[in-house]
Structure 1
Amino acid sequence: MNFERLLKQVAFIHEIDKVKYILRKTRLFNSDRNENDAEHSWHLAIMAIILAEHANEPIDILKVVKMLLIHDVVEIDAGDIFLYDTEANHTNTEAEHKAAERIFGLLPEEQAADLIEVWDEFESGETMEAKFARAMDRLEPLFQNISNGGGTWKEYDVRYEKVLEKKSVIQKGSEHLWEFAKELIDESVKNGVLTKSAH
C-alpha cells in the first residue's frame, strides 16, 4: 500500500496540534485563564453555525466554518497579534503568508491550495462568508471581555472609541449582530467596565 498522501495529511494533523499552545490575550468566560487559539477557533465555528441566520446575506456555512477553523493556524509560525496592539499591525502580514505556505504546504497539493485559498479569502474579507467569519472573530472577545468585567480592555487601557472602531467590522457580516454588539459596548460604559476617552 502507498501511504504517501496519507503521511502528508498526518504530518499536517501533527503540526496543527501546536495551535493548542498559542495563548491569546483574552480569557475564557468568567475566568482568569487565557484562551488558546484552538479553543478560540472551535468557539467561533460553533458561533457561526448558531448565528448564521443573522448574516446580512445567505452564506455557505461550511465555508465559514472552514475559515474559522483554519484562520489562526498561521499563528503557529507568526504568533498572535493582539487586536488592540499599538506596535504591530493586525492586518495580514508577510510572516502570516509565509506561515500559510509552509503549514498548509505540508498537505497534498490540491488540499494545500484549497486551504490557502480559503485562508486568503478570510484575510481579504471581501466575500459574504469572510465578512461573517470576521464578525464572529470580533464578537467572541467582546463577550469574553464583558464576562470578565472589562478583561483586556481594562488590562491594556483600551477605550470605548477604539473598541467601537475595531468591532465595527461586525456590521459587514451582520447589521443585526452589530446593533446588539453596540448595545453591549454602550452598556459596558454605563457599568464601568469600559471607559470613554476624555475630550
Structure 2
Amino acid sequence: MDTTDLIKQIEFIKEIDKLKYIQRRTRLFNSDRNENDAEHSWHLAMMAIILSQHSNTPIDVLKVVKMVLIHDIVEIDAGDTFIYDTAKNHVNTADERLAAERIFGLLPKEQADDLIAIWEEFEAGETDEAKFAKSMDRLEPLLQNVSNNGGTWKEYDVDYKKVYEKKQIIKNGSVSIWDYAEKLIEESVANGILKKL
C-alpha cells in the first residue's frame, strides 16, 4: 500500500495546527481574550452555512466554507495584518504567496493546486462565492467590536470613515447583511463606541 499521499496530508494537517497560535487583534464576543486565526476561520465557516440564504446570488456553500477555512492559513508564515493597519496594506502580498506555495505545497500536487486556486479566488474577490466569503470575513470583526464596546476601534483609534470604507465590501456578497451591518455602524456612532470626525 502506497502511503505517500497520506504522509503528505498528515504533514499538512500538523502544519496548519500553527494557525491556532496566530493571534488577531479582535477579541472574542464580550471578552478581553484575543481571537486566534483558527477560531476566526471556524466562526466564518459556521456563519457561511447559517447566513448563506442572504447571499445576493445562489452560491456553492461548500466552496465558501473551503474559502473561509483556508483563507488565513498563509498567516502561519506571513503573519496577520490588521485590517486598519496604516503601515501595511491588507491585500495579498508576496509573503502570502510564498506562504501559500509552501504550506499548501506540503499536500499531494492535485490537492495543493486545488487549495491554492481556492485561496486565489478568495483573494481576487470576483466570484459570487468569494464575494460572500469576504462578506463573512468583514462581518465577524464588526460584530465582535460592537459586542466589546468598540473593541479594536477604540484601542487603535479607528474612526467611522475607516470602518465604513472597510466594511462596505459586505454588500458585494449580501445587500441584506450590509443593511444590517450599516445600521450597526451607525448605532455604534450614536452609542459613542465609534467616533465620527
Regarding TM over 0.5, the answer is yes
Residue of structure 2 in register with 1:35 after alignment: 35
Write out the 4+ residue segments of structure 1 that deviate beyond 6 Å after TM superposition: none
| Matched ranges for 1:155-194 at <5 A | 155-194=155-194
- How far off is 1:10 after superposition? 0.3
State the Cα distance separating 1:2 from its structure 2 match.
2.0
Amino acid at match of 1:19: L
- TM-score, L = length of structure 1: 0.98
Residue of structure 2 in register with 1:19 after alignment: 19
Cross-structure match for 1:144: 144
RMSD of aligned residue pairs (Cα, Å): 0.4
CA–CA distance in 2 between the matches of 1:168 and 1:157?
Answer: 19
Report percent identity of matched pairs.
70
Counterparts of 1:101-112 in structure 2 under 5 Å? 101-112=101-112
Aligned counterparts, 1:108-119, within 5 A:
108-119=108-119
The Cα of 1:166 is off from its aligned counterpart by: 0.3
Q: Compute the displacement of 1:4 (Å).
A: 1.0
Letter in 2 for 1:157: D
Deviation sequence 1:148-183 (CA, Å, 0-9, x none): 000000000000111000000000000000010000
Q: Secondary structure of the residue that 1:47 maps to in structure 2?
A: helix
Give the AA of the match of 2:38.
A
Q: How many residues align?
A: 197
Q: Which amino acid aligns with 2:111?
A: Q
- The Cα offsets for residues 89-111 of structure 1, whole Å up to 9 and x where unpaired, read as 10100100000000000000000
Give the Å deviation of 1:46.
0.2
Query: Could you tell me how far 1:3 is from its partner in structure 2?
Result: 1.2
Tell me, which stretches of 5 or more residues in structure 2 are unaligned?
Answer: none
Partner of 2:89: 89
Task: Supply the distance in 2 between the matched residues of 1:25 and 1:149 (Cα, whole angstroms).
Answer: 15
1:67, 1:5 → 2: CA distance? 22
Runs of 5+ unmatched residues, structure 1: none
